[in-house]
């Protein structure tokens, strides 16, 4: 047996090399390269940081109940402003009359 291998070592070595090359080629197609996995890990870290930032922003946003309360307060303020508007127009008229009176006295 060793005689056969000793006499035919170049073809045996070529066959083993071919099998190794095909094996490495198949492994290269099946598994990701180290550089690719490192790049993906970097991208994943960046995405996780963005997600954490967005989660922090979303947690600071008002909830449904807070928005409902805010809408109620805004509508109450509109009502208050509608009540104040006639009073302000009377005050404006009064200040105009006072200014007009002052101008008449000075001239």
Query: How far apart, in whole angstroms, are the C-alpha atoms of residue 81 and residue 46?
Result: 49
Chain segment 53-64, per-residue pLDDT in tens: 999 999 989 999
Question: What is the number of alpha carbons within 13 Å of residue 32 lying toward its C-beta?
Answer: 8
What pLDDT shows up at residue 56?
94
This prediction's pTM: 0.47
Query: How far apart, in whole angstroms, are the C-alpha atoms of residue 81 and residue 75?
Result: 10
Chain segment 61-77, per-residue pLDDT in tens: 999 999 999 999 999 99
């Amino acid at each position: 047996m060793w005689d056969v291998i000793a006499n035919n070592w170049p073809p045996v070595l070529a066959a083993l090399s071919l099998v190794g090359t095909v094996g490495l080629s198949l492994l290269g197609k099946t598994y990701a390269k180290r550089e690719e996995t490192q790049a993906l890990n970097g991208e994943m870290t960046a995405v996780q940081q963005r997600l954490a930032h967005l989660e922090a922003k979303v947690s600071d946003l008002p909830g449904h109940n807070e928005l409902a309360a805010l809408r109620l307060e805004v509508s109450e303020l509109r009502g208050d402003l509608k009540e104040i508007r006639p009073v302000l127009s009377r005050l404006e008229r009064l200040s105009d009359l006072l200014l007009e009176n002052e101008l008449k006295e000075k001239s």
